[in-house]
Amino acid sequence: MTLENTILQEYSAYLDATDPNFTYFGETKNLVNLACSLNQYRNNSVLLTGPAGIGRRSLIAGLVKNKGADGMPLETINTDFYRLNVEDLFDTNTVSKIEEKFSAVLDQLKTIKQRSGKKPVLVIDDGTNFVREVTTKKASSLLNQLIDADQTSDDFDLIFSADNDALHLLKTNYPNFVSKLSTQEVKQAETPVVLEMLAHEAQRYAPKGLTVSDKALEMVVKLAKRYPALGAHAMPKRASLFLDEVATAFRLEKHSKPEQVHEDESLRSAKQKELKKAQDAGESTADLEADIAALDASIATAMADWNMKKKVLLDQQAKISEYRGQIQIYKDKIESLIAKDQEAEQSTDDSQQNDSRLKRNPEISKLRTDIENIEASIEECNEKSAKLIGQMTYPVTLDAEYVDAYAKNKLGMNDVPDLRKSIRTADQHINGIVMGQEQMINPMISAIKQRLGNKKEAKKPKGVFLILGPSGVGKTFIAEVLAEELCGGKLNVINMEGFKEKHTVSRMIGAPPGYAGYDQKAELVKISEENPSGVILLDEIEKAHLDVKQALLTPLDKGSFTSANGRDTADFRDNIIIMTSNFGQQSIILPNAEESFEVWETKLKEEIFKAADHFSPEFLNRCTIVCADFLSDEVIEKVVTRRVNAFASEFVEDASTFKVEIDEESVKRFVADHYKKKNGARVVQDILQQQVGDHICNLVLDNDADDKNTCGVLKVCYNDGKFTYDLDENALTLKAGNENQPNAKSAFQPSAAAIA
């Protein structure tokens, strides 16, 4: 084959060699549109664009394979398509050699036109790599040659396929090239088309004993569309690769043990649950224990037989490895003998010399015969192994449940509780954690319940909340609590102060082609990939530029989002989005601190809809607006008590042996001295941390230094503006292993000095 034929390939022959079973899945109108573009009088060369994995190559291959389909232009039937092998073209770093090879390709296309009397179509289906190579190796002359041969000389028509990244490079560095082509964007295939494609691909697993159920295929498509983090490509390739990944994992997992063992293990697990239930109820367990013992014996017997067969396979592989080593030894001997003959004969005709050597040198002939015999032995071993593997494998069916579980594990969603179950009594539970904010929490829980129950809003986030109110009363804390109680602790926080400039819009939603930051993932995309099912907190949203808030309208309302670069996508349907704001703090909230909650809440909500420079009406209408209230003295007293009690578990590993307590009167005195409604709970908690926390920290560190446990009850009192501490006499013992265990007073005498 000549150099040109290596680089320039008939597209149909290329498909037959690389994908003989190729089938086009998609609407015929897409093929017709591409064919019509090629047959236009002007601008009849096409630039196919779209994200990686969208199906650009499939569209081209479909056109080549279906030239005679209904609705196709007659001229297309008589058109020959040729593919440029980009990899072979750029297999050297010397630009002059690349240009020489490319010129030869263009000359051959010209010859094809002259010989056949019709223009061929040059397909550069790896345009993405072509653009990168041209840019990296500074070979822009290739693009000029391409356009000149296509448009000036009219030697051929062109289909140039490039993903969005390559398109960005072209527009930035070679805008003239883009302007000469008719741009056609490939759209994402509809779900039925993707399902049909995956069903076709699933047939390749049949020889391995794997069947993929229709429900499993539907689950693959559903998850791949919903979670971009399942793959780096766009749909439908993301679904195709994910199917291959999960199908392979399922098959390998199932075929790692005999079928009977899987069944016995499942039955044993059920029996063990029954046994535990019977033990808890004090019922007889003899029959269940006997059943479990019988299952264990059955599993052991089956696994012993399985492992024996595996050993046979391993032995066969060891033989093959030994055989291959022997072949290499014989080949080395042959090369050595040939080298000796070359030194003796000094022939210039290598091919004839090698043939004559084989005939004259019987040792070489014998070695080659030995190699053939060993290769036959290897083939025999492989046949035995294949036969044994066939006996050990058995038919399995991939179901939707496994696909769902596999995706959750990959996305890190295994520990996320079922929101529909956890939300039932969430208001009571969360009100016990975030105290004194029922008027904020209850509407939030109610909104989440309504979103879960309303099928028409299934594609929207599970909740979108704007929390207003005084500082230091739990606006941020509620996001942390909801994440912990409803979403398995998954929380992402964005400080919106970093988005107060207009240009930061591109950082939030991505930059379009041609702009700085195009190659970087948008903040929303990164968060969606990191936290597909948790709480997203946009803290101090009022500080963000108005344009940034406007850019959030689509994800807040639709639940899905495509970055401005047209490549990355995000899905927020499983997220709870919370935004906090100190809007109206100085003008409304603090001046009305002594008024009832209803009074300043009404004023605040009225005022925020008038503040067009901060929030647009369409932004506010996408949110459930709730307000946090000032904390009463009674609530702060509960906060103080809980905070003091919590120090025990923060500083001592085994909190059951150490407790910190504060009496009710001390709490009241402390709150009276230090709590001011306008300051919120934060000041009070800081004082507790600095004084009580500091004392306990020193106590624990001193004991650790003396190899002593910190245990017992530490009583904290507050009087006359000072804290005092008293530890009971049995508070401390030496760690296990020490012979002497002094009492508390001899081990450590706690200081009674008051800390102001």
Q: Where are the alpha helices (DSSP H) in 623-734?
A: 633-651, 664-674, 681-688, 694-705
Give the residue with greater pLDDT, 288 vs 70.
Answer: 288
Beta bridge partners of 680: none
The secondary element (H helix, E strand) that includes residue 336 is helix 286-345
Cβ–Cβ < 8 Å for 464, 623: yes
The secondary element (H helix, E strand) that includes residue 305 is helix 286-345
pLDDT greater than 90 at residue 198:
yes
Structure tokens of 542?
């009022």
pLDDT of residue 742: 34
pLDDT greater than 70 at residue 350:
no
* C-alpha span between 431 and 418 (Å, rounded): 20
pLDDT greater than 80 at residue 585:
yes
Q: What is the sign, positive or negative, of the torsion defined by CA atoms of 89, 95, 101, 106?
A: positive
Backbone angles phi, psi at 185, to 5 degrees: -90, 130
Structure tokens of 413?
């969603």
Most confident of 394-403, 508-517, 726-735: 394-403
* C-alpha span between 68 and 82 (Å, rounded): 18
Listed residue (430, 419, 428) closest to 474, CA to CA: 430
pLDDT greater than 90 at residue 519:
no
Distances (CA, A) of 291 to 263, 283, 287, 569: 14, 16, 6, 52
* C-alpha span between 31 and 60 (Å, rounded): 8
* C-alpha span between 592 and 585 (Å, rounded): 10
Question: Residue 736 — very low, low, confident or very high, per pLDDT cuts 50/70/90?
Answer: very low
Q: Which amino acid is at 440?
A: M
pLDDT greater than 90 at residue 346:
no
Determine the longest span between alpha carbons in the chain, in angstroms.
Answer: 113
pLDDT of residue 355: 57
Give the residue with greater pLDDT, 412 vs 268.
Answer: 268
pLDDT of residue 110: 94
Listed residue (645, 643, 627) closest to 681, CA to CA: 643
* C-alpha span between 142 and 170 (Å, rounded): 13
pLDDT of residue 753: 29
* C-alpha span between 534 and 491 (Å, rounded): 6
The secondary element (H helix, E strand) that includes residue 576 is strand 576-580
Q: Which residues of 395-429 are buried (b: 16+ CB within 10 A; e: fewer)?
A: ebebbbebbbebbbebbbbeebeebeeebeebbee
Listed residue (483, 560, 563, 572) closest to 532, CA to CA: 572
pLDDT of residue 730: 58
pLDDT single digits (tens) 271-294:
999 999 999 999 999 999 999 999
The secondary element (H helix, E strand) that includes residue 627 is strand 624-627
Mean pLDDT computed over 124-136: 96
* C-alpha span between 37 and 679 (Å, rounded): 68
Structure tokens of 676?
């001011």
Percent of the chain whose predicted confidence (pLDDT) is above 90: 74
pLDDT single digits (tens) 392-440:
999 999 999 999 999 999 998 877 788 888 898 898 889 999 999 999 9
* C-alpha span between 297 and 167 (Å, rounded): 63
Structure tokens of 330?
């014989």
pLDDT single digits (tens) 80-106:
999 999 999 999 999 999 999 999 999
pLDDT single digits (tens) 677-696:
988 898 999 999 999 999 99
Question: Residue 141 — very low, low, confident or very high, per pLDDT cuts 50/70/90?
Answer: very high
Which DSSP string corresponds to 473-511? SSHHHHHHHHHHHHSTT-EEEEEGGGG-SGGGHHHHH-P
pLDDT greater than 60 at residue 188:
yes
Question: Residue 752 — very low, low, confident or very high, per pLDDT cuts 50/70/90?
Answer: very low
Distances (CA, A) of 2 to 72, 83, 113, 476, 525: 34, 15, 19, 70, 48
Beta bridge partners of 715: 661, 726
Question: Residue 359 — very low, low, confident or very high, per pLDDT cuts 50/70/90?
Answer: low
Cβ–Cβ < 8 Å for 217, 202: yes
Distances (CA, A) of 737 to 171, 191, 710: 74, 67, 16
Cβ–Cβ < 8 Å for 459, 502: no
Q: What is the sign, positive or negative, of the torsion defined by CA atoms of 369, 375, 378, 379?
A: negative
Question: Residue 343 — very low, low, confident or very high, per pLDDT cuts 50/70/90?
Answer: confident
Listed residue (148, 150, 158) closest to 121, CA to CA: 158
Average pLDDT, the chain: 89
pLDDT single digits (tens) 294-330:
999 999 999 999 999 999 999 999 999 999 999 999 9
pLDDT single digits (tens) 202-261:
999 999 999 999 999 999 999 999 898 899 899 999 999 999 999 999 999 999 999 999
pLDDT of residue 734: 38
* C-alpha span between 735 and 756 (Å, rounded): 33
Percent of the chain whose predicted confidence (pLDDT) is above 70: 93
pLDDT of residue 333: 92
pLDDT of residue 206: 94
Give the residue with greater pLDDT, 292 vs 520.
Answer: 292
Cβ–Cβ < 8 Å for 272, 292: yes
Cβ–Cβ < 8 Å for 473, 441: no
Cβ–Cβ < 8 Å for 422, 486: yes
pLDDT greater than 90 at residue 151:
no
pLDDT greater than 60 at residue 750:
no
Please tell me the least confidently modeled range out of 7-16, 99-108, 269-278, 559-568: 559-568
pLDDT of residue 709: 84
Question: Residue 479 — very low, low, confident or very high, per pLDDT cuts 50/70/90?
Answer: very high
Cβ–Cβ < 8 Å for 573, 460: yes
Cβ–Cβ < 8 Å for 239, 225: yes
Cβ–Cβ < 8 Å for 630, 470: yes
pLDDT single digits (tens) 163-174:
988 998 999 899
Cβ–Cβ < 8 Å for 406, 249: yes
Please tell me whether the overall predicted TM-score, pTM, comes out greater than 0.85 for this model.
no
pLDDT greater than 50 at residue 612:
yes
Listed residue (671, 705, 703, 701) closest to 688, CA to CA: 671
The count of residues in the chain is: 756
Cβ–Cβ < 8 Å for 4, 116: no
Q: Which amino acid is at 653?
A: E
Q: Which amino acid is at 638?
A: K
* C-alpha span between 293 and 311 (Å, rounded): 27
* C-alpha span between 473 and 683 (Å, rounded): 11
pLDDT of residue 745: 32
